[in-house]
Structure 1
Amino acid sequence: MRQTEREGPRETLRTRMGWLHGWVGFLCGLCLACIFATGTLTVFDTELTRWMQPEINVNTYVAPTDTALREAARIVRSQQAQGISAFLNLPSHRFPVLQVLHYNGHEFTGDILDPRSGALIQARETAGGKFFYDFHYTLRSADIGGVRIVNILGVGLLVAVVSGIVIHLRALLPDLVMLRLSVPPLRSWLDGHLLAGVLFLPFMIMCAYTGVLVHADRLFPAQSAAAHHHGGPGHHGHGHGQPPPDAAALLPVPPLGPLLAQARENMQGRDCGFILFAADRITISASDAAGPYMSRDHVDFSLPDGRLLATTLNQGRVATTMQLVRGLHYARFAPPGLRWLYFISGMAGTAVITTGLVVFLMKRRRKSGHLVAFRLAEGVTISVTAGLPLSMLVYLWANRLLPPALPGRDMWEIDLFFTAWGLCLLHGMGRALTRHAASGWREQLGGIGVLGCGLPLLDILTAPGAWGACPSLHAAVGGVSLLAGSVALYAARRVGRVA
């Protein structure tokens, strides 16, 4: 009797946690799947941008020459005189060119220069991998609201993870040992969801926790407004950068080479990442990839003489902790092997969320499958699970098929992505409402298969020179798309077990 009394509260807790895990996991998971998928691609956003600009023929990192730096500074000043808040992004091993960038409301975009000669490289306009980064943390919202939504969803992910641990903890070991892939579909999908969730649980918790911490100030309107107006440029800046200085007050810029050398020395040997140009001073900031502690350490020099004004090193326990949190979340410091580990873990995390969505629907199909609300939910799930990767591939295909000189082609690529995704949503909901959900799954998965398997061939036909200049990059993009297409075709053949 006592054992029964003890088990009663435990079962009640598991039942309540099961309800919480299911509903919070499903409602938040529809957006979290998109956030995780785009965040996974963000690990290689720089490489994707290089792939999407095959005209760039600089493939090896070299330090920018004085000639190139002088020309870049001239372009920055010219754009500032026109009221454009431009800054200079320095070459790195991942993207070995000079960039004169400005914030367009979503991404940092602008001119590309050869670091040796300073010559302008006529590359096609594209948001590149930065589009996925922007979508990942703002849901492509031009205001702070998107960041707040993503933060709330991150909290929802932590709730789903904790409740999932509670309901599965007691039977965790037997379920892992007895992975049942040949039993009824619901059991095998649940086992796959559980196995992937346990193996990649630390990564998912780390991403959710650090992501919430990085943007925690955005949950509070007063503080987020200040951060929005004072955020600096760079991959983890969220504002519009510094306001452009008054054109009449612009002072000449001295040679930048010696200033970069001094800034690096003052920042304890860390590489420099970008340079901000104010009316009477310039600010040289540390690179995001300088180490696991992502800071905004910087050195200020006066204009026009280049005299050292100040060195700002953000130190202290709180500052250092937040620098590590940012570094772990963005992984800009990571070497290629560690970035691939992030990528694989991100894909697995996305799979955990999407399999959870499928399990949620399968558990309720018998009782609720006739309801319009259930069919709408399945239609949305189809468009998230299959429609989103299909639209990502449309985005990459658009990059190769749109004319390189098309005005505003970067927005054309993005518009085609959202158009494809919108059509996937209409298609999925149409199939689900007419009780042909299985056909909806098969057709969208088949679309992924065709576009994914066809992308390497398209790349070879439309950018043969880029393959010769940087074969590893193009082979990696083609290999991942081919793998995704093959998996989708296999899944399309077995989709009858889901719907």
Structure 2
Amino acid sequence: MDTNTRGFRQSQAFLHTWSGLLLGWILFLVFVAGTIAFWREGMNRWMRPELARVEQPMQVLAGAQRFLQSKAPDAKSWFITMPSARTPGAQLFWQPQVKKGEPRRRGGRRDNQALIGADGAPAHARETRGGEFFYRFHFDLHYMPVIWARWLVGFATMMMLVAILSGLVTHKKIFRDFFTLRRSKGQRSWLDGHNATAVLALPFHLMITYTGLVTLMAMLMPWAVVANYSDEARIFDALFPQAQAVERTGRAAPLADLRIVVQDAQRRFGAPAGFIEVSDPGDAAARITVSQSSASMLSSRTPRLTYDGVSGRLVWRSPAPGGAAVTAGAMIGLHAGRFADDGLRWIYFLCGVAGSAMVASGLVLWTVKRREKLPDPARPYFGFRVVERLNVAVIAGFPLGIACLLWANRLLPAGMRGRAEWEVHALFIAWAAAGLVALACRPKAAWPALFGITGALLAAIPVYNVAATERGLPAWLAAGDWMLAAIDLALAAFGLFAGTIAVRVARFRPELRKSRARRVVPAPATPILEPAE
């Protein structure tokens, strides 16, 4: 290899190492939460075990219309998510009429939301964020302004793309190494595992990273919009065209049966409906807009139809989108994976697990490689100790927090005020406690302790579901509810995996290495995490 090529590879190795390290902990959080979010509909149901599976969507839709007509007959608009077997029911939102002189409400509110269950009646279930928390957390984080979080996640995603591309350059034998997995070989085992998880799902890693940047493109690179559109409303109208607005008349008129309108829309789409918006319900100028389900096509920007709210007559259909809109919609659709059936969704999920393992193994590998190069591995410098303990706090602490969130979902009183928020608080309280353990204890003790607790908590949840609730794995299997059964099985599997890691780390004894001067180097204070057999 000539000098120029060697120098280029070395520069890419430096870039790969530091682009992956500096924001690697945020990337780990994003990967783990995003991976769980591929099953957010299932998590929405699993975290409300009181609710039955939707068998007759039109019955639920009829119940939603009855509820809104009695609860918010004079609202400015209604919003209804179409129920399906994947969802816990029909989620409803309504926007009250703006009254003269009344200040505009800011922030979220709970008094304009409801959930209609499988029987068509308002559902009385525990308050929870469900899978929506993981979906929002993977790009909005938590406890910080959304715009700051998205910039931080966007920058971390760019660093991820740099790390992937530079890793392809610097690992000249990466494809050969993919077929080599040496166990119980310390640093070599971690490098083999890192290479294997990277190459196995390489197309997915490139796709999910690039399309993740596309979802934030208007924020990260707004210059094209600024150069071509002086008014923000114009770009919105170009990307999301709507039927011409109609002024409220003040004359009462009965709203058309939403079931008939949706059935007509589904016939025209040739696909299921996903979302319904009703403007000025109960007025002669009412309009009903039906959007095609994003689960039925690759693009996230689905066609829409608008109907007269009284007669049910079609008055508008969305125009065919341009090439740029189709491309952007397809990129966002690829990233979210809403179009995927169960088989492809499992592929997304498993590739996300591989991505999480790739980031985690890369972070651990940084400390393993550098400890061997220290003058005194038993007394590393301050920066090394910081990275080492951050690895423990994030890689072992965040999964522990997730396990505590799931237990909070099961154990907190159903009528507790702010229950959904306290589920999330439980995650961060447990995570903070794990961080304190990582700071106070030697990594050799902290790794197995945190992974062991996480494994026990995750594996115990399916047992609790059977013993303390009316539902659980046997009931879900008997009912053919494979989505909820798969979640319990996955929790048991990840619990077993975390427990295995804890045992392997606790039993690991590093080999003594000799320096070039035949001097025995003291055994490292931190165990080299061994991959589970």
Q: TM-score range by the shorter chain?
A: 0.7 to 0.9
Distance 1:303 1:146, change over 3 A: same
Is the contact made by 1:76 and 1:100 (CA closer than 8 Å) also made in structure 2?
A: no
Does 2:481 align with 1:481?
no
Measured after TM superposition, the shift of residue 91 of structure 1 is: 0.8
Partner residue in 1 for 2:79 = 87
Deviations 1:282-314 (A, max 9, x none): 321111112222223211223444443211044
Give the match's secondary structure for 2:295. Answer: coil
Measured after TM superposition, the shift of residue 251 of structure 1 is: 7.0
Distance 1:66 1:360, change over 3 A: closer
2:381 counterpart letter in structure 1:
L
Is the contact made by 1:64 and 1:91 (CA closer than 8 Å) also made in structure 2?
A: no
Partner residue in 1 for 2:99 = none
2:46 counterpart letter in structure 1:
W
Does 2:405 align with 1:395?
yes
Is the contact made by 2:274 and 2:291 (CA closer than 8 Å) also made in structure 1?
A: yes
Partner residue in 2 for 1:146 = 149
2:211 counterpart letter in structure 1:
T
Deviations 1:231-281 (A, max 9, x none): 89xxxx9xxxxxxx9998997532212221232234x31211111232342
Deviating more after overlay: 294-303 vs 400-409 = 294-303
1:498 counterpart letter in structure 2:
I
Deviations 1:399-434 (A, max 9, x none): 110111212211110111111111112221222xxx
Does 2:136 align with 1:126?
no
Does 2:316 align with 1:310?
yes
With structure 1 as the length reference, what TM-score do the two structures score? 0.86
Is the contact made by 1:55 and 1:466 (CA closer than 8 Å) also made in structure 2?
A: no
**How far, CA to CA, are the matches of 1:133 and 1:175 in structure 2?**
34
**How far, CA to CA, are the matches of 1:388 and 1:109 in structure 2?**
33
Deviations 1:43-85 (A, max 9, x none): 111101101101112343543367424214426735947xxx7
Match of 1:379 among 373, 376, 389: 389
**How far, CA to CA, are the matches of 1:227 and 1:354 in structure 2?**
41
Does 2:131 align with 1:164?
no
Distance 1:161 1:67, change over 3 A: closer
1:129 counterpart letter in structure 2:
G
Measured after TM superposition, the shift of residue 132 of structure 1 is: 0.2
Distance 1:175 1:257, change over 3 A: closer
Structure 1: gaps spanning 5 or more residues: 1-5, 238-244
Deviating more after overlay: 99-108 vs 360-369 = 99-108
Partner residue in 1 for 2:197 = 196
2:90 counterpart letter in structure 1:
L
1:201 counterpart letter in structure 2:
L
**How far, CA to CA, are the matches of 2:334 and 2:348 in structure 1?**
10
Measured after TM superposition, the shift of residue 229 of structure 1 is: 13
Is the contact made by 1:453 and 1:486 (CA closer than 8 Å) also made in structure 2?
A: yes
Deviating more after overlay: 297-306 vs 245-254 = 245-254
**How far, CA to CA, are the matches of 1:37 and 1:107 in structure 2?**
28
Alignment of 1:37-436 (within 5 A): 37-64=32-59, 67-74=62-69, 77=72, 80=75, 87-95=79-87, 97-101=89-93, 110-116=113-119, 118-140=120-142, 141-169=144-172, 171-183=173-185, 185-220=186-221, 253-266=255-268, 268-279=269-280, 280-366=286-372, 367=374, 370-431=380-441, 436=442
Measured after TM superposition, the shift of residue 174 of structure 1 is: 4.1
Is the contact made by 1:392 and 1:417 (CA closer than 8 Å) also made in structure 2?
A: yes
Distance 1:250 1:390, change over 3 A: farther
1:354 counterpart letter in structure 2:
A
Measured after TM superposition, the shift of residue 133 of structure 1 is: 0.2
**How far, CA to CA, are the matches of 1:250 and 1:37 in structure 2?**
51
Measured after TM superposition, the shift of residue 15 of structure 1 is: 1.2
Is the contact made by 1:69 and 1:257 (CA closer than 8 Å) also made in structure 2?
A: no
**How far, CA to CA, are the matches of 2:122 and 2:80 in structure 1?**
14
Partner residue in 2 for 1:242 = none
Partner residue in 1 for 2:454 = 448
Distance 1:289 1:454, change over 3 A: same
1:276 counterpart letter in structure 2:
E
Distance 1:67 1:8, change over 3 A: closer
Greater C-alpha Rg: 2
Deviations 1:31-51 (A, max 9, x none): 111101111101111101101
**How far, CA to CA, are the matches of 2:426 and 2:126 in structure 1?**
16
Is the contact made by 2:36 and 2:349 (CA closer than 8 Å) also made in structure 1?
A: yes
**How far, CA to CA, are the matches of 1:186 and 1:364 in structure 2?**
10
Deviating more after overlay: 371-380 vs 398-407 = 371-380
Match of 1:25 among 13, 17, 20: 20
Give the match's secondary structure for 1:56. Answer: coil
**How far, CA to CA, are the matches of 1:38 and 1:358 in structure 2?**
20
Deviating more after overlay: 478-487 vs 57-66 = 57-66
Q: How many residues align?
A: 472
With structure 2 as the length reference, what TM-score do the two structures score? 0.81
Measured after TM superposition, the shift of residue 391 of structure 1 is: 0.7
Is the contact made by 1:106 and 1:134 (CA closer than 8 Å) also made in structure 2?
A: no
Is the contact made by 1:274 and 1:286 (CA closer than 8 Å) also made in structure 2?
A: yes
After superposition, the CA RMSD in angstroms is 3.2
Deviations 1:348-389 (A, max 9, x none): 111011000000111122427622222122211112111111
Is the contact made by 1:298 and 1:312 (CA closer than 8 Å) also made in structure 2?
A: yes
**How far, CA to CA, are the matches of 1:389 and 1:46 in structure 2?**
20
Is the contact made by 2:34 and 2:135 (CA closer than 8 Å) also made in structure 1?
A: yes
Partner residue in 1 for 2:469 = 463
Structure richer in helix, relative to its length:
1
Deviating more after overlay: 461-470 vs 446-455 = 461-470
Measured after TM superposition, the shift of residue 148 of structure 1 is: 2.5
Measured after TM superposition, the shift of residue 335 of structure 1 is: 1.2
Measured after TM superposition, the shift of residue 89 of structure 1 is: 0.8
Give the match's secondary structure for 1:274. Answer: strand
Give the match's secondary structure for 2:277. Answer: strand
Is the contact made by 1:76 and 1:87 (CA closer than 8 Å) also made in structure 2?
A: no
1:394 counterpart letter in structure 2:
C
